[in-house]
Amino acid sequence: MTSKIVWTLGDALITFNPSTTGPMRYVSSFERKVGGAELNFAIGCARLGLQTKWMSRLGGDEFGKVIYNFARGEGIDMSFVKLVEGYPTSLNFKEIREDGSGKTFYYRNQSPILTLSEDDISKGMFEGVDVIHLTGVFLAIAPQNLNITMRVLKIAKENDITVSFDPNIRLKLWTIEEAKRAYAKIFPFVDILLTGFDEIELILENASKDSLERFASENDIAQLIIKDGSNGVQAYINENWYKKEAFKFKVIDTVGAGDGFDAAYIYSFLNDMSIDERLTFANAVGGLVTTVSGDNEGLPELEDVEAFLGKRKIIER
C-alpha cells in the first residue's frame, strides 16, 4: 500500500444481479451484491494499493451491515461511515442483456445519505488527503447535497487538495437541466474531470475539440479525460490532446467499468506515471472490469493489472 490518500463521498446500495440475461420482467431470481459509484471507486483504489477513505450513511438494517462489513473487508477507512436507524439501505435491480449492456432500476427513496449535512464536513477529515473524488450521483440524490459538495470543494481549494470529478449522469434521478446547473458550480473547482463522451456531449451540447478546449480553459480544468468505451479514451492536458485505443475484451457486464477507470487514473496520477502510461493503465482496468459480472467484482488488484500489461509474471502452479 502506498502513502497516498484518496477521500470520496457518496451513497452505496445493495445490488441485485439477475441470474439470467434479458428483460428484468422475465428474470425470476437475483444474486445479492454491493454497489454504488463512489464505493466502487473506493474499492478500486484500495485494491490498487491506495489508502482510501469513504464518507457515507447506510441504513441501520441488515443490508447496511452487509455493505459496511464488505467495504471494511476491502481495507477502506470507515471512520466517516455511520449506520442510521429509520432509513432503509438503498437498493437497485440490474437488467443485463446478452451483449453485456443493461439497465438499472433504483429503489432509494428515503436514502440514509439524506441524513448527511454540511455540519458533518470538517477540515480535520481531510488531513493528509491527496485527492478528493466526487461524482454526480451524490448530487443527484437530493438538492441539499450540492451544499455539502460545495463545502468539501472549498476546503479542498483552501488546502490545495486535488479534486477529481465524474459527472456520472443519472437521468433517472434528475433532469439534465438540473444536472447542468449543479455542474456549473462544481466545474471551477475541478482539477481532473473524468467524463464519458456521451456525458460531456449532453452537458455542453457540442463535443467538438474547440468546444472542449474552451470549456476546460474557462473552468481551469487541468486534466480533461473523456472515456468512450470500446473507442478508447481521449485526454486534453496542458493544451495538448492525447488518445489511447481500448483493449479488446469479451464483455460480460459494463457496470462499474467507468468507476474502475477513474480509480486507475487517480492511482496512476498519484504515482507520477506519464500521460501515456496513465491512459494505458486506466484503459486496462476499465476493460478488465467488464469481464466479470457485478459492480465491483471485476475491479483488479495491482498485480493483476501489471500482469495484463506484461509488467509482472504470474506463476499459476
The one-letter amino acid code at 25 reads: R
The mean per-residue pLDDT over the stretch 94-113 comes to: 86
Supply 262's cell numbers. Answer: 477513474
Supply 88's cell numbers. Answer: 432503509
The mean per-residue pLDDT over the stretch 3-32 comes to: 94
pLDDT value, residue 262: 98
For the chain, the 3-state helix, strand and coil shares in percent, each to the nearest 5, are 40, 25, 35
Phi, psi (5° rounding) for residue 19? Answer: -80, -20
Write the CB contacts of 141 (distance below 8 Å, at least 6 apart in sequence): 11, 108, 111, 113, 114, 173
Determine what percent of the chain is predicted with pLDDT higher than 70: 98
The end-to-end CA distance of the chain, in Å, is: 26
**pLDDT beyond 80 at 317:** no
Please, which residues bridge with residue 193 across strands? 165, 224
Reported as a pLDDT band with limits 50, 70 and 90, residue 186 is: very high
pLDDT value, residue 56: 98
Q: What domains appear along the chain, each with residue ranges and CATH number?
A: 37-56+117-308 (3.40.1190.20)
Residues 38-75 pLDDT 10s: 999 999 999 999 999 999 999 999 999 999 999 999 99
pLDDT value, residue 50: 98
The mean per-residue pLDDT over the stretch 240-247 comes to: 96
Q: What is the mean pLDDT of the chain?
A: 94
pTM over 0.75: yes
The mean per-residue pLDDT over the stretch 101-112 comes to: 87
